[in-house]
């Protein structure tokens, strides 16, 4: 058997690549459109100081929409070209030119938002009367809601000039942890293998416990050496959040982060409290893990180890994966599966790995063109079928949003984004679980789903609680010293993992290595997303036609509502504890079934 070699981009058959002609015929057309974009930018400046009537505002928004729509198309094409081959200099240049041009437009148009928010009520009411089709009204309504916290044009410009400097903690953290920190090598049966941020997870899943421990101590030993710098960087990031919240007049940095999505602070706090009520079943999960792994003490370097090893996994071609997804998602109806599967087989997806291609997977939906998906599909990994279903959920959300809304409010928020993708994952899991190739595969599916819920519902909530606490500590006047950061994180580790877990002295350093913390109050959206998705998928699988119709209303709502309102269309009220309680019940039910099947296998 010949050794597999990763192909060059030019050697990948066209039918395996995404078809970008839905955006631009070729790079030449992109170049022509960029020139038009430059002209549009220059002409937009003429609207400065002219918004005296509803008609003036309407005309300005027409021009603004045209520029944003053109910019989105230019940016999406350049971004996708670059990610398909990061080593291609022409694609790099294309994307860089777009970024420079788009940044220039941000500067040139900085007058617009302050001018709109400063308009008299009579002008705004006049505009609403003119905008009979509500092409722009939702955008203006959401903008005016931000009015109390938008500063003068001069002040906003000062803040924008500091925006690059305020990214220094994040950028320095990224360079330090991904470039400067050398984690060394770990000796394995296959020889010495470099320990990196990328290889870390595979080491934590190594069946040899000694290798896991060595990799863990070596990895965190590096963070120990840099702990003071990392502590200062995170503290600096929190300081920036707190300072901006004060400058803008918010009650707290948490309120500032939630305000745009119209999520009350109490909803965030109540969500954390509701997850806390699920601790008994979460602690039981770790007790089960301890038994299944057969260890006297469950250590921090054991928790990423799969409880079930799936050997001789079935091989599933990409085309077969699409057919499995079609069957699994059939409860969503034929229209949904027909559109999705046609797209997956005809131009939406860049399917396989090639040299220089970005790792992982993503969906890139936009108003114009296909809702594209980047994959690195491998036919021997069941996980990749889940990845395809997940990204397909994002793409179908984008498809319905763009099809049913005007450009200025078609785009949904990150809060809503993880719902559609996770519904697809849950439906696929249920289908595969009902049709397993073996008892071992059934156990693997259960253990994997349990692990996903732990990682998304419980772990992300722990992260969200840590962010809330660190920002509160600083806002109350206590400096965020390294000791404070470590003690706060260790307390949370003990609360969430429970008595089954024995921690290492360096375990609390995990709080200094999470990149998401530099984008404060973002991770809770993963936890709310899976809670909503489990609630929705349960209703769909029960045959609730009303809930199914409500789910499609949610998919079609785009950015026309605020997240909590749009999810109510799908019958999910995230301002209550109900969805979280339901998610914990689903988790508990799966855990009971897993315990039962593991006992059967081990008889």
Segment 228-263, tens digit of pLDDT: 999 999 999 999 999 999 999 999 999 999 999 999
Q: What is the pLDDT of residue 516?
A: 92
pLDDT digits (tens, 9 = 90+) for 527-537: 999 999 999 99
Q: Domain check: are 486 and 572 in the same one?
A: yes
Q: Domain check: are 458 and 564 in the same one?
A: yes
Query: Residue for token digits 């209550």?
Result: 576
Among 324-328, 464-468, 518-522, the range scoring the smallest mean pLDDT is 518-522
C-alpha–C-alpha distance, residues 186 and 203, integer Å: 9
Joined together, the tokens standing for residue 353 give 């790995």
Answer with the one of 119, 134, 164 that is the final residue of a domain: 164
C-alpha–C-alpha distance, residues 176 and 191, integer Å: 27
Instruction: Evaluate whether residue 376 is within a structural domain.
Output: no
Q: What is the DSSP string of 232-285?
A: HHHHHHHHHHHHHHHHHT-S-HHHHHHHTTT--HHHHHHHHHHHHTTHHHHHHH
Nearest CA to 81 among 149, 24, 5, 156? 24
Q: Domain check: are 443 and 587 in the same one?
A: yes
Q: Domain holding 102: CATH number?
A: 1.20.140.70
Q: Calculate the average pLDDT of the chain.
A: 95
Query: What count of residues does the chain have?
Result: 603
Cβ neighbours of 222 (radius 10 Å): 18
Q: Look at phi and psi of residue 520 and say left if phi exceeds 0, alpha if psi is from -120 to 50, else beta.
A: beta
Rg, the chain, Cα only: 25
Q: Among all residues, which ones are annotated catalytic?
A: 391
Q: Domain check: are 576 and 456 in the same one?
A: yes
pLDDT of 313 above 70:
no
Q: What is the pLDDT of residue 1?
A: 40
Render the burial of 288-323: b for 16+ CB within 10 Å, e for the rest: bbbebeeeeebbbbbbbbebbebeeeeebebeebbe
Instruction: Evaluate whether residue 481 is within a structural domain.
Output: yes
Among 3-17, 91-105, 254-268, 507-521, the range scoring the smallest mean pLDDT is 3-17
Average pLDDT over residues 518-542: 95
pLDDT of 311 above 90:
no
Percent of the chain residues past pLDDT 90, beyond the cut: 89
Q: Domain check: are 52 and 128 in the same one?
A: yes
Domains identified in the chain, total number: 2
Q: What is the pLDDT of residue 165?
A: 86
Q: What is the pLDDT of residue 282?
A: 98
Say if CB 64 and CB 40 are below 8 A apart.
Answer: no
Q: Domain check: are 436 and 579 in the same one?
A: yes
Joined together, the tokens standing for residue 549 give 């119709």
Q: Domain check: are 140 and 268 in the same one?
A: no
- Sequence-separated (6 or more) residues with CB below 8 Å from residue 169: 233, 234, 236, 237, 240, 518
The torsion angles phi and psi of 521, rounded to 5 degrees, stand at: 60, 40
Where does the pLDDT of residue 3 fall: very low under 50, low under 70, confident under 90, or very high at 90 and above?
A: low
Answer with the one of 108, 139, 164 that is the final residue of a domain: 164
Q: What is the pLDDT of residue 161?
A: 82
Q: What is the pLDDT of residue 2?
A: 47
Say if CB 61 and CB 408 are below 8 A apart.
Answer: yes
Average pLDDT over residues 7-34: 96
CA distance to 5, 6, per residue, from 2 (Å): 9, 13
Q: What is the pLDDT of residue 603?
A: 65
Could you tell me the maximum CA-CA distance found in the chain, to the nearest angstrom?
Answer: 80
Query: Residue for token digits 């409010």?
Result: 409
Structural domain harbouring 487: 229-306+396-603
Q: Domain check: are 468 and 584 in the same one?
A: yes
Q: Using the 8-state DSSP alphabet, how is residue 59 labeled?
A: H
Instruction: Evaluate whether residue 383 is within a structural domain.
Output: no
Q: What is the pLDDT of residue 4?
A: 65
Q: Domain check: are 510 and 591 in the same one?
A: yes
Q: Domain holding 517: CATH number?
A: 1.10.1370.20
Instruction: Evaluate whether residue 441 is within a structural domain.
Output: yes
Instruction: Evaluate whether residue 133 is within a structural domain.
Output: yes
Q: What is the DSSP string of 84-123?
A: H-TT-HHHHHHHHHHHHHHHHHHHHTTTHHHHHHTS-HHH
Average pLDDT over residues 358-366: 93
Q: Domain check: are 440 and 523 in the same one?
A: yes
Q: Domain check: are 146 and 20 in the same one?
A: yes
pLDDT of 414 above 70:
yes
pLDDT digits (tens, 9 = 90+) for 280-293: 999 999 999 999 99
Instruction: Evaluate whether residue 267 is within a structural domain.
Output: yes
C-alpha–C-alpha distance, residues 523 and 518, integer Å: 11
Percent of the chain residues past pLDDT 70, beyond the cut: 99
Instruction: Evaluate whether residue 189 is within a structural domain.
Output: no
Instruction: Evaluate whether residue 197 is within a structural domain.
Output: no
Q: What is the pLDDT of residue 144?
A: 97
pLDDT digits (tens, 9 = 90+) for 189-232: 989 999 998 889 999 999 999 999 999 999 999 999 999 999 99
Q: Domain check: are 424 and 506 in the same one?
A: yes
């Amino acid at each position: 058997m010949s050794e597999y070699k990763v192909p060059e981009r030019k050697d990948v058959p066209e039918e395996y690549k995404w078809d970008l002609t839905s955006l631009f015929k070729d790079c030449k057309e992109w170049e022509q459109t960029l020139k038009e974009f430059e002209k549009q930018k220059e002409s937009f400046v003429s609207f400065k100081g002219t918004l005296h009537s509803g008609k003036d505002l309407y005309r300005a928004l027409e021009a603004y929409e045209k520029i944003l729509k053109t910019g989105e198309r230019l940016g999406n094409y350049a971004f996708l070209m670059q990610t398909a081959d990061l080593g291609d200099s022409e694609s790099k240049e294309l994307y860089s030119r777009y970024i420079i041009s788009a940044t220039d437009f941000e500067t040139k148009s900085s007058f617009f938002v302050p001018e709109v928010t400063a308009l008299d009520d009579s002008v705004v009411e006049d505009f609403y009367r003119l905008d009979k089709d509500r092409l722009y009204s939702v955008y203006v309504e959401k903008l005016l809601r931000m009015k109390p916290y938008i500063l003068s044009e001069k002040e906003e410009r000062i803040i924008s000039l500091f925006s690059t400097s305020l990214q220094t903690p994040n950028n320095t953290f990224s360079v330090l942890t991904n470039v400067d920190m050398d984690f060394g090598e770990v000796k394995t049966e296959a020889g010495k293998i470099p320990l990196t941020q990328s290889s870390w997870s595979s080491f934590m899943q190594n069946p040899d416990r000694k290798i896991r421990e060595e990799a863990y101590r070596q990895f965190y030993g590096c963070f120990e050496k840099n702990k003071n710098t990392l502590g200062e960087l995170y503290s600096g990031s929190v300081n920036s959040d707190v300072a901006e919240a004060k400058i803008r007049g918010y009650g707290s940095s948490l309120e500032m982060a939630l305000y745009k999505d119209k999520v009350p602070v109490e909803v965030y706090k109540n969500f954390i409290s509701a997850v806390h009520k699920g601790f008994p079943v979460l602690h039981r999960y770790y007790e089960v893990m301890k038994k299944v792994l057969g260890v006297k003490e469950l250590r921090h370097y054991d928790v990423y180890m799969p409880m079930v090893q799936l050997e001789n996994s079935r091989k599933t071609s990409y085309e077969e994966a699409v057919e499995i997804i079609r069957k699994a998602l059939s409860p969503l109806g034929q229209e949904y599966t027909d559109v999705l599967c046609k797209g997956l087989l005809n131009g939406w997806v860049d399917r396989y790995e090639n040299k220089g291609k970005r790792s992982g997977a993503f969906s890139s939906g936009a108003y114009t063109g296909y809702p594209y998906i980047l994959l690195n599909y491998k036919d021997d990994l069941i996980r990749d079928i889940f990845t395809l279903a997940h990204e397909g959920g994002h793409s179908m959300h984008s498809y319905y949003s763009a099809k049913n809304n005007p450009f200025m409010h078609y785009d949904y928020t990150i809060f809503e984004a993880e719902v559609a993708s996770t519904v697809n994952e849950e439906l696929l899991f249920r289908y595969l679980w009902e049709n397993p190739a073996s008892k071992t595969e059934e156990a693997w599916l259960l253990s994997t789903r349990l692990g996903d819920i732990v990682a998304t519902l419980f772990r992300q909530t722990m992260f969200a609680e840590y962010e809330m606490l660190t920002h509160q500590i600083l806002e109350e006047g206590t400096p965020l010293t390294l000791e404070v950061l470590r003690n706060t994180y260790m307390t949370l580790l003990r609360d969430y993992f429970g008595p089954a877990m024995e921690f290492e002295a360096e375990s609390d350093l995990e709080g200094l290595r999470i990149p998401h913390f530099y984008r404060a109050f973002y991770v809770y959206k993963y936890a709310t997303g899976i809670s909503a998705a489990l609630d929705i998928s349960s209703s769909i699988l029960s045959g609730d036609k009303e809930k199914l119709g409500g789910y499609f209303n949610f998919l079609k709502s785009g950015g026309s509502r605020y997240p909590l309102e749009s999810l109510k269309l799908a019958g999910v009220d995230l301002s209550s504890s109900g969805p979280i309680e339901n998610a914990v019940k689903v988790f508990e039910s799966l855990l009971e079934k897993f315990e039962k099947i593991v006992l059967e296998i081990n008889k």
